[in-house]
Structure 1
Amino acid sequence: MYHEFFGLKEPAFSIAVNPRYLFMSDQHREALAHLLYGIQNGGFVMLTGEVGTGKTTIVRCLLEQLPDNTDIAIILNPTANAPELLSTICDELGVSYIDDELTVKNLTDALNVFLLNNHRKGRKTVLLIDEAQLLRVPVLEQIRLLTNLETTTEKLLQIMLVGQPELKKLLARPALRQLSQRITARFHLEALTPAETKAYIHHRLKIAGLPDHQRPFSDNIIREIHSFSGGIPRLINVLCERLLLGAYAQNQHVIDKRIFAAAAKEVAGTATQEEEKIAAARTSWHALLVGVLALVMAGVWFLLPDDPSNPALPTAEAQAQIAPSITSSSAISASSAAVVVEALPPASSVVAMATRDMVAAQLVLFDYLAITIDDRMNPCLSSVTANYSCEKARLSSWDELKDVNRPGLMTLATDDKKWVYLLVVGLSENYLLVIENGVEKIVPWSDVAPVWTGDFVYVWSRPQGFDKSLQLGDKSDLVTWVAEQFARLDQQPAPLTRQFFTEKLKKRVELFQRTQNILPDGVIGAQTLRRLNEVLGVDKLLVPLDEQKIPALLESQVTDSQGL
């Protein structure tokens, strides 16, 4: 998509949290210093900021700098009552308690015993609560009581509250004045300044590999971006993504005011009445055209005599050329026209775009991925020696296909119960991007789902020596390799560990898993490794399709198939 057009190695403005794109402004560094000071001195520390200002970035940096002798409990859903929250804290820290006696006293006593034992072992304990503005007043008061346990020199539990600006208002209530007085460090993240916005955009483009001769954003456009986004990094990402896509669609390497206006309007979710009228007229015209074509074709079938020797009767090849254009058009037509089209004999379908030769299909997949293999008679077997692995997954839904996020071969079932293989290279909510005879084509998901067996073969870069999951206490060269990948991800000069799977590496894995919506168990399995490959840009991923542009692309696809 657009990143290749601009010479980027990967999309530069994905909203997914990626430590490689970490941008630390002066205020981010100051916030980190405040929080580190507060953690070291005990009690409460608080970080607030609007949505998308970089609170997660600060938290990640903070966790990376905590000492090895630190145990941390991270609470991501603080809407529970006091007993439920206390039991969750105990679960995070591995504190034993009696399930049948979930009272505040029993849970607090169990937690206090754990904190005392941790202190005797020379270990620190930290509680991090995200979205803390959702906490109820009684629960916050209970959390305050947890800090009452202390020695003559330090608190046994350090608590960090992270939340939106409403958290400051919450703690300003008279009922919580004791807690507010115990906050030893607090920092509120503001939006980026115009200068920081410029540095932020250039930083992300540089990390994504922007060539020196490319400069898609002028200073004037960056000022417009800052004005529109208010300096909120997440909004900057969304807008810049749309701007680059818009420039790509217009075949322009520099964003102008016209492209900016269209992208800003799209991001803001607004449209003028005139544009809505034009869009409605275009949809009605297209539906009318498809309906007329369908009626004409239906008339042809009924009026012509049923005589194969009649030269006026379309041949099977001609029927196969006509039918796909009507079928594709129905995907973007009005429902009434689609009903007429569905009544036509289905001379062609998505199955016809696939191949029956499994080896040939695998070779096309490897060619698409630009992976060189030695044995072209057994592509998947040969890939093992090239540090790539073929995986055959049994998927049951679109969501599972999206989670794999790799180009691959779908196994489809023909009417005569034979298997064929379709190369899928892109995905959106309702469409697939497939390759047929070297040509990319868009097909509706609804056409593929009924004939898909659920089998999907994809290729990913599988680390050497990975034959089972890695977990705390394991020792191997693969542990070193994984730690090195996280160091690369975090732009750190040295890995967290070598050979031994330590507690610190486990915490880093858990944090990564949380950002990737994976069960945060600290175990390094195939799913975690694949996601690590994704954020490091190792594997080629499915192309994300822009659904708003698909109708126009389908119309162009239909026109091409008709030779108009």
Structure 2
Amino acid sequence: MYKAFYGLNDNPFSIAPNPHYMFLSDRHREALAHLTYGLGETGGFVLLTGEVGTGKTTVSRCLLQQIPDNTDTAFILNPSLTELELLATLCDELEIKYGDNPTLKQLTDLISMYLLTNHKNGRNTVLIIDEAQHLRSEVLEQLRLLTNLETNTKKLLQVILIGQPELQQLLKRQDLRQLAQRITARYHLLPLNKDEIGLYVLHRLQVAGRHEPLFTRKAITALHKHSGGIPRLTNLLCERALMAGYGQAKVPIDHKMVNQAAVEVLGDIDAPNDKRWPFIAATALVLAFGLSFYLFNRSAIDDKLNAHTELPANQSEPSINTPALAAIASAANQSITAQAPQIQTSTPVVNAQQQILRQAMAQSSSIDNAFAGLFGLWSKQPIIGLSACQAAQQQDLACYQQQGNWHSIMRLNYPAVVYLQDAQANVFYGVIVERQVEQILLQLGEQQFWVNKDWFDRHFSGTFEILWQPDSILPREIGVSSSLAQVQWLENSLAQVNKRRARLLTQFDSELEQQLMNFQRQHGLKPDGIAGNQTLVQLNLYLSQQGPRLSASLERS
């Protein structure tokens, strides 16, 4: 109806998942890349999650346009099925014929035969399930069993699960742990930020034929505010705002039209409450209590004096504790001005600091937040949808987890995520940022605290993880039968760690073996005299010159 008025040849803000309108923000590009990567792997499960309306289905439709021609695809939109119904639907999608009232085994056999035939003919098979958060656990287990069909190099069925964030929680169930371990790629799609909303709206208008901006900057800000960055809600708001502009014959679309569209689409939007009123009320209550307390005590004192004695003529009446009331009033005024959540009390500084530390401990139960802090020390960032170690590998870093103590961490001299416990054995996570003799700077969430070795020893559970950047590709193992170049590298590395001069070797001799075993004992490794993976990683941690350190001046001890 309004297309000609705005110079459009199509409806730009339809909520249908049209890949033609696909806006590839950085997040959507990453999501599509993860799905493509998962399909290029040797099989298993790929996971895409996101809030309602963030564009998951549109990404999947875009993926379908990019899959190779030698791929057969089954797309299930309604996963609220039983095990038998799911297999029957899969057969329908792949055009596998089956008889009346088939059993679970018959359908499984037919699908297995189809997969084997496809593999023999050089074809791949992909199953995409949308709204996968509605899948029952027994159906997910049946899917896992289907992916058991494999050759020596790949699985014959690849499954892409697309769903809301509840799907992540579902896959954390103990009875689904085998399936969770088969997820080769995962990504969580976040809403768009304000800049991306502006680009998103402009992109859709351009695809529909209009290349001039149609929404003001304030309108874009209002769109982001009301939609929360959700593309589907943005489409609904834009559609309604365009209708309003058409009705008023007004161009461009301003923030007032968007606000009105939000009221019509999302319902009544309450005006923000004045957050000062709760604190004003609390302040008035404190003042009233203080005054009542004073008057009550004043009355009691007067009664007692009247009953037992008379004041001398030259003695004044008991004075009001003006400084105390002034302090209450001052604190109340500060609370109103700063809108602080609590009125300040006069507790000792040490107790206040301890309280802040305890609160930070209680709020540091997320290991992902701890790793975000560790990535920051490396000037890197975690990647949404990937584990910390997967994100590290994407950025040319490596993860290393070890059991140890204070000395183990200080000897390596790397910032570390540490697994800690409070007095009630509740687990929390922190990042060791810096060391100064017997103190460390510990980051808990967004706060940092200097704690001493005794405090750390009381709370450290024994597990820590670090990031590091390997300087070279490690050999798998160095032993007596290894090449002379590898043997000499091992000698040079041990000499550098022990700060001695390296020897020129012609073979893996007994002295090198003894030096290697000493190094292994020192680091809690099996002293077998063979430089396996754990030993080589430990050596490289010492030798690497890349990345941050806990202390630039102190030697590893």
Q: How high is the TM-score relative to the length of structure 2?
A: 0.47
Higher relative contact order (CA 8 A, sep 6+): 1
Which protein shows a greater Rg? 2
Q: How high is the TM-score relative to the length of structure 1?
A: 0.46
